Structure 1
Amino acid sequence: MPSKSTPDALSPPTPSARDRAYDWIANAILSGTYSEGEFLDEVGLAREVGTSRTPIREALHRLRAERFVELVPRKGAQVRVVTVTEMREIYQARYVIEADALTKICARRLGAPAESHELVAAMEAARRDEDWNSIAQLDQRFHAGLVRHAGNAVMADIYESLRPRQIRLAVKNLHSSPERLPVIEREHRELVAAIDEHDRDRSVEILGVHLREVPELIRAFSR
């Protein structure tokens, strides 16, 4: 039996300073603390996170790779502006990957992933708290779960690479048009039902509607 001084093997590891900096800055961008186009001050970020400037720089390089920020010579890190073109391209890429996954899932009569219903319910609960970031994270897990469920590991990795951009896009959409959430929730439930019925055509049709262009979002991204 381990002594009281022995660390609990099940306890999560303490995050590094770089990881803490990454999480803090990413969440600040997603929550709107830092606006699109705003420059980030390394000294101020280090003070907020409680680290030296080195972990801040490392976090900013990761955030650049994930397209949260741009590193501008002699000016520093600037929060990226998400454009209408980028929004359309992300939705197009998602549709191609997700439609392929739905086709395979229905052909194999796998039904929806086990966690789908729980994730949909969690999104609806988060809406009551107007927790846009949590909804966006859950939404990404829901759709990524469908892609993984199809069994193509390479396709799942490609889809996962879109995760940071997908979440940031979703947060911006929710901030711009929170009134669409009941529609999004209904589409999620309809999609799960169609998958459980192994209805490929209906599943892909619902996905196409779910990822369609919405005029109010186009206006929001064009400002």
Structure 2
Amino acid sequence: MNKKVSENGTDSIKKKTYEYIRDSILQGKFISGSFVEEGVIASDIGVSRTPIREAFNKLSSEGFVELIPRRGARVRAISPNEMHEFYETRMVIETYAAKRVCSIRPPIPERVDELISEMETLTQFVMAHEIAQLDRELHRIIVALSGNQVLLELYDSLQFRHLLACSSVPIDSKLLSVVLQEHKELVSALKNYDEEGVLTTLSKHLDPDLVLRFRRF
């Protein structure tokens, strides 16, 4: 479907152009390693090249694209080795955060139950891209609950890898159902401050070797 952007309001144009390119990357329209053509974007959503270039600069700073001189914006590719290292890093951060949460027992926000409910609905319709957004929000909540702001800032710096990694999952309803069940187990253990349960779920949910079997590169 052609998503034309209204030329009313510069800030609105910038935001919509950025979101269109970013979502297109995460949904696989612009695949890893390919160049995003300014002319294609301009034609797709009806904007000038200025907001497109500004969006490229923002996406570059966030790690989604690489700006190649005289070539343009190339979608950031994640190799199997980098993917493995990314999940190892998440394991370290989230395991520490989970232990801390179970120790200090902060109130668990109602948002975690809302996220599970939303994931369940999206899983029925095999909406992997939208689930990826909720996946990151859920895991970020766990890190935030640890109360360690520096750790949260470090976790946030991994955002582009998190979303690109999730978007690389083949759209498979059975696989999404497995991920949903793991999220349910994770939230249940978290709400009971069950450290063993949380760590057991995280160990399989974030196991780099298990994750890589389901990725496409």
TM-score when scaled to structure 1?
0.84
Instruction: Tell me how far 1:207 sits from its aligned partner.
Output: 0.6
Letter in 1 for 2:14: R
Instruction: Specify the code of the residue in structure 1 equivalent to 2:103.
Output: A
Residue 200 of structure 1 corresponds to 195
**Matched-pair contact (CA < 8 Å) for 1:84–1:218:** no
Structure 1 distance, partners of 2:201, 2:148, is: 22
Matched residue, 1:36? 32
SS at match of 1:16: helix
Contact preservation (8 Å) 2:22, 2:59: yes
SS in 1 for 2:74: strand
The residue aligned with 2:42 is 46
Q: Which range moved further: 74-83 or 98-107?
A: 74-83
Cα deviation digits, residues 95-142 of structure 1 (max 9, x gap): 111111111110122364321111011111001111111100011111
Amino acid at match of 1:190: E
Which of 145, 149, 154 pairs up with 1:149? Answer: 145
Q: What amino acid maps onto 1:127 in structure 2?
A: T
Choose from 150, 156, 172 the match for 1:160.
Answer: 156
2:182–2:201 CA contact under 8 A, matched in 1:
yes
Q: Count residues in correspondence.
A: 209
User: Where does 1:159-178 land on structure 2 (aligned, <5 Å)?
Assistant: 159-175=155-171, 177-178=172-173
Q: Which residue of 1 aligns with 2:14?
A: 18
- The equivalent residue for 2:113 is 117
Q: Check the 8 A contact 2:88/2:207 in 1, yes or no.
A: no
- Paired residues for 1:45-84 under 5 Å: 45-84=41-80
Q: Aligned in 2, Cα 1:216/1:166: closer, same or farther, shift over 3 Å?
A: closer
**SS of 2:168's equivalent?**
helix
Q: Secondary structure at the match of 1:173?
A: coil
TM-score for the superposition, normalised by structure 2: 0.87
Q: Distance in 1 between matches of 2:215 and 2:132?
A: 17
Indicate if the aligned counterparts of 1:18 and 1:59 stay in contact, CA closer than 8 A: yes
Question: Would the alpha carbon gap of residues 49 and 142 (structure 1) be closer, same or farther in structure 2, given more than 3 Å must change?
Answer: same
**Pair member with larger Rg:** 1
Question: Is the contact between residue 67 and residue 80 of structure 1 (CA under 8 Å) also seen in structure 2?
Answer: yes
Query: Structure 1 residues 178, 170: CA separation in 2 closer, same or farther (over 3 Å shift)?
Result: farther
**Where does residue 90 of structure 1 map in the other structure?**
86
Corresponding residue number in structure 2 for 1:3? none
- Give the alignment's Cα RMSD to 1 decimal: 2.1
Q: For the Cα contact (< 8 Å) 2:108–2:191, is it kept in 1?
A: yes
**Is the contact made by 2:123 and 2:177 (CA closer than 8 Å) also made in structure 1?**
no
Q: 1:165 to 1:15 in 2, by over 3 A?
A: farther
- Structure 2: state its 5+ residue gaps: 1-8
Mapping of residues 98-113 of structure 1, within 5 Å: 98-110=94-106, 112-113=108-109
1 CA distance for matches of 2:208 and 2:90? 13
Give the CA deviation at 1:143.
0.5
Q: State the shift of 1:214 in Å.
A: 4.8
Rounded Cα–Cα distance in structure 1 between residues aligned with 2:112 and 2:34? 37
